[in-house]
Amino acid sequence: MGKLSQIKTVKLPVLIIALLSFILSGCAANNRNMSDVAKQLRHNLPVETAVTKLEAMKVESQSVAQYALNLGYLQLVNGDYQNALVNFEKAKQTMASLQAISISENLGSATVNETFRSYSGWPTDQVLVHGMMAMAYLLNNDLNGARVEILQADVRMNKLAESDKDKGQLAFVRYLAGVVYELNDEIDSALISYRMALSILESRTEAIPPSLQQSLIDLTAQIGLTQESKQYQKKFRLTVSKAYSNKQFIFAFDGVVTQMQQAKSTLWWDIDDVYLSVALPKFPRNNYVLSKSYIEAQGHEEVTYEIENIESRAREDLQARMPAITAMALARAATKYQTVKELNKKDNVLGAFANVLTIVSEVADLRHWGLLPSSIQVATTYATTGTLKLSNSYGQQTLGTPDNVSDKHEKAPAVAAIPASSQSEGDDIASVQQDSEQNSNEQLISRKLNTKSKAARKRAPSEAVLKERQSAEKTPKQDIAYLNYTSNKNAVILLSSLTNKVHIANF
Amino acid sequence: MRLLAVILSVVILSACGSTKVQRLDSSETVDLSGAWNDSDSRMTAETMVADVLNRPWINRHVSQKGKPPTVIVGSIKNLTHEHINTNTFVSDIERELINSGMVEFVASANQRGDIREERKDQDLNSTEATRNAAGQEIGADYMLTGQINTIIDANASTQVRYYQVDLTLISMADNRKVWVGQEKIKKLVENAKLRY
């Protein structure tokens, strides 16, 4: 009888660990699936298919926010603004409700693994969700809705800056706030937001996009801050814009952010005959090559410039969390070691079984907003009525040598212009997918070529990568749309390397 | 170890709760997140309507025109940090004003379209005795416009949310502002630092 009760006592913790390992395998599987979708998107998976794949996933309660962020983003670039807003709102509410420290989740992460925690969003996620929502509201022609989001983003950024002045500070969101205020004729608030965007970029010693430079010069002049305007003109070597009837704010989302990987170390602790295991998240080398979009208006070509490098922000967020993650991983390893050691003393077989479970259950938390673009770029055009020609070079896919890509592009037929009837005033989306089947095939071939060259590049020495980075600027352009722009209104235009759709909202 | 096992079991089993629904009186105040809610909308409307009805512009209008003033609701802008449905606030104001019996209301610009369509339809399909002729609408004497603003001051887990509702009643005849009302709400929201 005594023997039986001893076995029961020994088995309970093992069973608990086994049960938790089983339950938590779901979280890891969720993330694996989302990460797979992200990797496929970087090659040639259509966004519509990616949305379907994500919608079909069964999501664990701990990963609801991460899932909603990823799905919402795909819906946004796919033009499904209403559903994007629903998912972003869900993610926002979930992240807000998870800001308090959870006793049970900390206990779980200290004993089993980090995926026991609910995904509460990284600082970049917490701010960017407002930015993406503002973008969705804008493209849905809801300026007031966008305004609410940028106000919320301001509160969130101020809150995050309390602990670290650079934490969660996004130049893109500040710039977008400026755009929203400018569209709403709140010029003074717009100028403040543009100044904040400038301050963030300067503190990071990053390049200032010309569209931001021009907005600072124009708005200071408009308000009557002549001295400040002159300082900006001297600093940026630009002048005040000529009078224009409308302004197009162009945003380009390029690429898909790099997925995190697990770094797991297992060692044999000879003294107590126990395997120790520690798993930590890490980002692999950043292979992102910036790819710009081009806008030709009235014979003048504008190029999009990066305002936010999400690759860098994600890495900074992880870096900031690593001390806590590492400390928790070591504490967990110590707890698991102690448990296995005690069980080993009582029963070698059970001890060995428990040891296997502790190794299997040790997985790194690789959850992050993994479908975000690698880079967010901006440009402005000051066209009056006329035609806007929009071009890009397939974002992250254009990693091949310029020669083999240009051959394909030269053969590609011209992109169909948007029929005038579909460009009536008030159209908020101009879906300008290339309509010829041949053209689509050309695109596919082009993407496959690029994918192959990317795979080859992975094996190549890093010097080759550097050469490709240098040649990225020379990558041939692919026309994606001609917009017969007849509206006398301001406009917000979104381009994404994931789709060939152009999203437009007139204000 | 036993204690640990028990705690972990409780953690797992805590997810097995059922949904509970409790019906509440619509006038009951329930603050959950600290955001603008139905109670704020209702109480602000009541306070501001009480104020607008007790000001001299009504008596002045009645003595000059010999009839109660007719009011139309214009835009009430949401300039807050929240996605507030201003329609509920406008409805609360309309209800309070109409029920007071001291002013008359005409349909807003959005509502008028439907009414005019129906009137056109009546012209074609209704009997002579029941038909309502076009061109008989009452023009509003005053338009009510306004905005809701917020200022939020927050630190790690505490927020002060300040709401300011500004309403203005403007004479349609000469753009005179005959009444300006203001209502302020201040809330201290303390979020939990720990959760289960």
The four Cα atoms B1, B2, B4, B8 give a dihedral, to 10 degrees, of 140
pLDDT per residue of chain A (507 residues) written in tens, 0 to 9: 444 444 444 455 555 655 555 555 555 666 788 889 998 998 889 999 999 999 999 898 899 999 999 999 999 999 999 999 999 999 999 999 998 888 888 888 888 888 889 999 999 999 999 999 999 999 999 999 999 999 999 999 999 998 889 999 999 999 999 999 999 999 999 999 999 999 999 999 999 999 999 999 999 999 999 999 999 999 999 999 987 778 899 999 999 999 999 999 998 888 888 899 999 999 999 888 888 888 887 777 889 999 999 999 999 999 999 999 999 999 999 989 988 888 888 888 888 888 998 898 899 999 999 999 999 999 998 866 666 777 776 543 333 333 333 333 333 322 223 333 333 333 333 433 333 333 333 333 333 334 334 444 443 334 444 444 454 445 566 676 676 666 678 899 999 989 878 899 988
DSSP-based three-state secondary structure for A424: coil
The two tokens of residue A30 are 């969720």
* Inter-chain residue contact B5 with A145, CB threshold 8 Å: no
How many beta carbons lie within 10 A of that of residue A165, not counting itself? Answer: 10
Residue in B with minimal Cα distance to A156: B154
* Inter-chain residue contact B191 with A99, CB threshold 8 Å: yes
| Candidates B8, B150, B192; nearest CB to A20 | B8
Q: Which residues does chain B have within 8 Å of residue A99's beta carbon, measured at their own beta carbons?
A: 157, 191
- A162 interface with B at CB cutoff 8 Å: yes
* Inter-chain residue contact B5 with A61, CB threshold 8 Å: no
Residues in contact with B42: Cβ distance below 8 Å, sequence separation at least 6, in sequence order: B27, B92
- A108 interface with B at CB cutoff 8 Å: yes
Give CA–CA dist A41/A456, Å, rounded. Answer: 18
* A and B: number of Cβ contacts within 8 A: 69
- By the 8 A CB rule, do A382 and A244 touch? yes
Extended strands (E) in A270-311: 274-282, 293-297, 300-303, 305-309
Helix axes B86-100, B38-53, angle to 10 degrees: 40
More confident residue, A153 or B193: A153
Q: Which residues does chain B have within 8 Å of residue A12's beta carbon, measured at their own beta carbons?
A: 1-2, 5
The residue among B13, B81, B82, B86 with the most chain A CBs within 10 A of its CB, best to mutate, is B81
Mean pLDDT (chain B, rounded): 88
The residue among A5, A97, A144 with the most chain B CBs within 10 A of its CB, best to mutate, is A144
pTM: predicted TM-score of the whole model, two decimal places: 0.81
* Inter-chain residue contact B195 with A101, CB threshold 8 Å: yes
Q: Which residues does chain B have within 8 Å of residue A100's beta carbon, measured at their own beta carbons?
A: 157, 191-195
- A185 interface with B at CB cutoff 8 Å: no
Query: Could you give the residue ranges of the DSSP H alpha helices within A42-80?
Result: 47-55, 64-77
- A6 interface with B at CB cutoff 8 Å: no
CA A110 to chain centre: 29
Give CA–CA dist A4/A311, Å, rounded. Answer: 56
CA angle B106, B109, B111 (to 5 degrees): 75
- A159 interface with B at CB cutoff 8 Å: yes
Phi first, then psi: give them for residue B118, nearest 5 degrees.
-65, -40
Q: Which residues does chain B have within 8 Å of residue A111's beta carbon, measured at their own beta carbons?
A: 4, 8
Best CA proximity match to A77, nearest among A47, A37, A106: A47
**DSSP, residue by residue, A384-401:** -SEEEEEEE--GGG--S-
More confident residue, B90 or A384: B90
pLDDT of B177:
96
* Inter-chain residue contact B191 with A148, CB threshold 8 Å: no
**DSSP, residue by residue, A70-123:** HHHHHHHHTT-HHHHHHHHHHHHHHHHHT-SEEHHHHHHHHHT-GGGS-----H
The two tokens of residue A4 are 């039986």
Give CA–CA dist B73/B91, Å, rounded. Answer: 10
pLDDT of B154:
86
Give CA–CA dist A133/A92, Å, rounded. Answer: 10
CA contacts within 13 A on the Cβ side of A450:
27
CA angle A142, A144, A147 (to 5 degrees): 115
Can you tell me the ipTM of this complex?
0.78
pLDDT of A141:
95
Residue in B with minimal Cα distance to A181: B79
* Inter-chain residue contact B155 with A339, CB threshold 8 Å: no
Helix axes B2-13, A2-41, angle to 10 degrees: 50
Residues in contact with A257: Cβ distance below 8 Å, sequence separation at least 6, in sequence order: A38, A310, A311, A314, A369, A370, A371, A372, A373, A374
